[in-house]
Amino acid sequence: MTLLDDSVKQGLLAGALKQGLEQLDLNQEVKFQVYSRVVLPIDGYVFWSPLNTVCFKGSLHFSQEIQQSQDETVGYATVTFTSENEIAEFSAAPTDTIYVAWHEGFRFAFTGQQGFYKQADVWHYVGNSVYPALTSQLLDRPGAIDPKQAVTSNSLALWLALNSYRSIYYDGFSNKVVLYPSYLVSPNMVPPYGVVHIGPEDTRALQAVPYLDRNRNHYQLAADRVRITLYGLQNNAALDFMDCVNQYSVDTGNFGVMSMEIMKDGKRTEPSLEALAMQKFLDYEVSYNQARVAAVSRQLILSAMPTYVIEGPVPIPVS
Kindly report, residue by residue over 168-214, the tens digit of the pLDDT.
877 778 999 999 999 999 888 999 999 999 999 999 999 999 888 88
| pLDDT score for 129 | 85
Least confident of 103-107, 147-151, 280-284: 103-107
Q: pLDDT exceeding 90 applies to what percent of the chain? A: 37
What CATH architecture does domain 156-302 belong to?
2-Layer Sandwich (3.30)
Judging by DSSP bridges, how do beta strands 123-129 and 106-113 pair with one another? Answer: antiparallel
SS (H, E, C) the chain: CCHHHHHHHHHHHHHHHHHHHHHHHCCCEEEEEEEEEEECCCCCCEEEEEEEEEEEECEEEEEEEEEECCCCEEEEEEEEEEECCCCHHHHHCCCCEEEEEEECCEEEEEEEECCCECCCCEEEEEEEECCHHHHHHECCCCCCCCCCCCCCCCCHHHHHHHHHCCCCCCHHHCCCCCEEECCCCCCCCCCCEEEEECCHHHEEECCCCCEECCCCCEECEEEEEEEEEEECCCHHHHHHHHHHHHHHHHHHCCCEECCCCCCEECCCEECCCCEECCEEEEEEEEEEECCCHHHHHHHHHHCCCCCCCCCCCCCCCCC
d(CA 285, CA 227): 9
d(CA 81, CA 268): 36
Least confident of 24-33, 74-83, 130-139, 212-221: 24-33
Q: Judge whether residue 319 has pLDDT over 50.
A: no
Q: Which residue has the higher pLDDT, 120 or 27?
A: 27
| pLDDT score for 224 | 96
Quick check: 283 and 226 in contact, CB under 8 A?
yes
| pLDDT score for 214 | 87
| pLDDT score for 9 | 42
Q: Exposed, middle or buried: residue 239 (CB in 10 Å: 0-12, 13-18, 19+)?
A: middle
The pTM of this model reads 0.77
**Sorting pLDDT into bands at 50, 70 and 90, what band is 89?**
confident
Residue spans of the domains in the chain: they are 3-137, 156-302
Q: Which residues lie closer than 8 Å to 211 by C-beta, 6 or more apart?
A: 218, 219, 220
Exposure of 249 in the CB half-sphere (CA atoms within 13 A): 16
Average pLDDT, the chain: 80
Judging by DSSP bridges, how do beta strands 193-197 and 179-181 pair with one another? Answer: parallel
Q: Judge whether residue 316 has pLDDT over 70.
A: no
| pLDDT score for 294 | 47
Q: What is the pLDDT of residues 248-278, one digit of tens each?
A: 999 888 899 999 999 999 999 989 899 999 9
Q: pLDDT exceeding 70 applies to what percent of the chain? A: 79
Q: What is the pLDDT of residues 296-308, one digit of tens each?
A: 455 554 544 444 4
For residue 158, which of 127, 187, 196, 186 has the smallest C-alpha distance? 196
Q: What is the pLDDT of residues 91-110, one digit of tens each?
A: 777 888 888 988 776 788 87
| pLDDT score for 112 | 63
